[in-house]
């Protein structure tokens, strides 16, 4: 990010040059803008915020695979299981939650045949996705930029919003005029009440439409932002699994009975491996 945490490690022995991680034994200093930023600070903060959000998306278990892998046969989620939990062969595997209980109404006779996956297999599959993306990196990024600019184009919605806000102002003025006139001129109160209610209803209807537009604008901007984060991750991605890359790039993975995995990525692309 261009900032540097000084004294991240400190010397314990000048002769052996051993350095230990600083866990607070020596004060740390955070220096902003110390060296040239690779990622602009604003982007870095956005990526971190998105990461935190995506990591925390599933409250059950902190694992990044939780809630993201699905069985193509029954639609159930893949859950984790620990094999050999007490010995050195301990490993975590993921499998369809219906694997042993049977699928829905079909009952226990029809059990899913989708494969059990080790975490290594999941990571390897993701690395295959990264390798595929790397092959067409330039073209993919160019296409995504195009998609991003379309997705993020809110100019028409903004125009509609300006018109609605204008209409709302007109209603407010009429409303004010009605009230003022009623206070100064004797008039049919039933007719006045009807106009009053009508204007209130019109104002409320316009408020609702404006709120609806705002929600659509926010949604479009959020989608464009997601694609932007994806592009930036892709630009800097190596071909090795990292939790951060997984969290930013993977929306869901669907596992077929033959073991094929379909990755639905957060930019809207699908990649099968």
Residues that bind Zn ion (CB under 5 A): 71, 73-74, 76, 96, 98, 112
Rounded Cα distance between 4 and 2, Å, is 7
Measured from the CB atom, is 122 or 154 closer to Zn ion? 122
Provide the minimum distance between the beta carbon of 102 and Zn ion in the complex, in angstroms, as a whole number: 10
Provide the minimum distance between the beta carbon of 82 and Zn ion in the complex, in angstroms, as a whole number: 20
Measured from the CB atom, is 76 or 232 closer to Zn ion? 76
Which helix (DSSP H) or strand (DSSP E) does residue 17 occupy?
none
**Residue 252, number of CB atoms within 10 A of its CB:** 15
SS3 250: strand
Provide the minimum distance between the beta carbon of 110 and Zn ion in the complex, in angstroms, as a whole number: 10
Provide the minimum distance between the beta carbon of 120 and Zn ion in the complex, in angstroms, as a whole number: 21
Place of tokens 């990525």: 265
Provide the minimum distance between the beta carbon of 107 and Zn ion in the complex, in angstroms, as a whole number: 14
Evaluated on CA atoms 185, 190, 207, 158, the torsion sign reads negative
Measured from the CB atom, is 125 or 234 closer to Zn ion? 125
Provide the minimum distance between the beta carbon of 72 and Zn ion in the complex, in angstroms, as a whole number: 8
Measured from the CB atom, is 199 or 255 closer to Zn ion? 255
Give helix 137-151 / helix 189-236 axis angle, nearest 10°. Answer: 170
Measured from the CB atom, is 95 or 232 closer to Zn ion? 95
Short-list 220, 231, 254, 221, CA closest to 75: 254
Rounded Cα distance between 224 and 148, Å, is 5
Rounded Cα distance between 151 and 147, Å, is 6
Measured from the CB atom, is 64 or 74 closer to Zn ion? 74
Spatial neighbors of 37 by CB under 8 A, at least 6 apart, are 1, 2, 44
């Amino acid at each position: 990010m261009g900032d540097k945490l000084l004294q991240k490690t400190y010397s314990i022995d000048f002769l052996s040059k051993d350095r230990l991680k600083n866990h607070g034994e020596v004060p740390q200093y955070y220096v902003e803008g110390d060296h040239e930023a690779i990622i602009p600070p604003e982007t870095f903060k956005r990526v971190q915020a998105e990461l935190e959000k995506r990591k925390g998306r599933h409250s059950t278990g902190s694992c990044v695979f939780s809630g993201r892998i699905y069985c193509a046969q029954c639609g159930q989620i893949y859950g984790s299981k620990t094999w050999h939990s007490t010995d050195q062969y301990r490993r975590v595997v993921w499998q369809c939650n219906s694997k042993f209980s049977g699928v829905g109404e079909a009952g226990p006779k029809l059990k899913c045949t989708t494969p059990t996956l080790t975490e290594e297999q999941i990571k390897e599959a993701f690395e295959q996705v990264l390798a595929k993306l790397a092959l067409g990196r330039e073209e993919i990024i160019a296409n995504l930029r195009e998609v991003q600019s379309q997705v993020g184009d809110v100019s028409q919605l903004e125009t509609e919003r300006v018109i609605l806000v204008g209409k709302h102002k007109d209603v407010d003025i009429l409303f004010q005029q009605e009230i003022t006139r009623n206070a100064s001129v004797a008039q049919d109160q039933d007719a006045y009440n009807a106009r009053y209610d009508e204007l209130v209803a019109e104002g409320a209807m316009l408020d609702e439409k404006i709120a609806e537009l705002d929600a659509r604008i926010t949604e479009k901007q959020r989608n464009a932002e997601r694609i932007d984060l994806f592009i930036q991750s892709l630009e800097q991605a190596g071909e090795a699994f990292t939790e951060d890359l997984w969290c930013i790039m993977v929306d869901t993975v669907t596992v077929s009975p033959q073991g094929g995995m379909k990755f639905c990525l957060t930019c809207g692309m699908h990649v099968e491996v």
